[in-house]
Amino acid sequence: MTLSPRQVRELLEAHGLRPSRALGQNFVADPNTVRRIARLAAVGAGDHVVEVGPGLGSLTLALAETGAAVTAVELDRHLVPVLREVVEPAGVRVVQGDAMALDWEELLGGAPAWSLVANLPYNIATPLVLDLLANVPAIRCMLVMVQREVGERLAASVGDPAYGIPSVKRAYRATAEVVGRVPRTVFVPQPRVDSVLVRLERLQQPAVDADAARLFRLVEAGFGQRRKMLRRSLAATVDAEAFARAGVAPTARAEELGLDDWARLVAAAPR
């Protein structure tokens, strides 16, 4: 069983709650949608799933229906008692906490491999995904519902209009693909933006042989002045000889470089 829009509204009213704009709360409330997400996540009995921002538990229930062991992390302390009431009978573990400040090793200590499945608020989606890729190797794959623009940036490759810093940082550690769209009408309240589903799969090792800190500093410098040619935006780090060694045109702009190009610049630039 999952929650219908009517049930979501009734739960909110019964407990005197209102969705928080500050927390980006738009509760997904459509049984077909949450079961579709659970199906795309490809989780089932024997799998361990962590959900961030479960709200009132509609997606949580769909994940529990698969037979997976589900841990739901909710920041809003006002929602937690209602969430427990809804999902704990289905065997879900509920944890109150801030996903951006959690001790993830402690939270996930019970199993070596996890999936993250979540409807992420737009204001934390990109930093949380990139932080988990960088620091929580136990999370092997993610299926996240995010604002369309955020999802397109995460999944973008060189040449795509949305390609930017998050795209490069994600590509260093994971593959990503937009696997579906989600209409505004399945949320309570309805958001003003469109949403997409993005699947990310962690690579066994970084996609290029380059130090992450040096690589990302270079990428941030390049995209920080993306209208400028790289010979100007990277002038403090990469000289003409380094561009030549890397085989990268100094007249190129940041959005024209793929991950391999950035890695060659890192290798060629003076430390």
Domain extents in the chain:
5-202, 212-268
Give the model's pLDDT for residue 85. Answer: 95
Whether the per-residue pLDDT at 8 is higher than 90: the answer is no
Structure tokens at 239: 């000289």
Q: What angle do CA 87, 88, 90 make, to 5 degrees?
A: 70
Across the chain, what does the average pLDDT equal?
94
* CA distances from residue 231 to 226, 227, 235, 257, 270 in whole angstroms, order as listed: 11, 12, 5, 13, 15
Place domain 212-268 in its CATH homologous superfamily.
rRNA adenine dimethylase, C-terminal domain (1.10.8.100)
Give the tens place of pLDDT for each residue, 118-153: 999 888 999 999 999 999 999 999 999 999 999 999
Asked if residues 95 and 71 have their Cβ atoms less than 8 Å apart, the reply is yes
Give the model's pLDDT for residue 11. Answer: 86
- Assess whether the previous peptide bond of 183 is cis (omega < 30° from 0): no
Cα 150 from Cα 29, distance rounded (Å): 21
Task: Assign residue 46 a region (left: φ > 0; alpha: ψ between -120 and 50; beta: otherwise).
Answer: left
Give the tens place of pLDDT for each residue, 146-188: 999 999 999 999 999 999 999 999 999 999 999 999 999 999 8
Give the model's pLDDT for residue 111. Answer: 86
Place domain 5-202 in its CATH homologous superfamily.
Vaccinia Virus protein VP39 (3.40.50.150)
Give the tens place of pLDDT for each residue, 79-115: 999 999 999 999 999 999 999 999 999 999 878 999 9
Q: SS3 sequence, 116-134?
A: EEEECCHHHHHHHHHHHHH
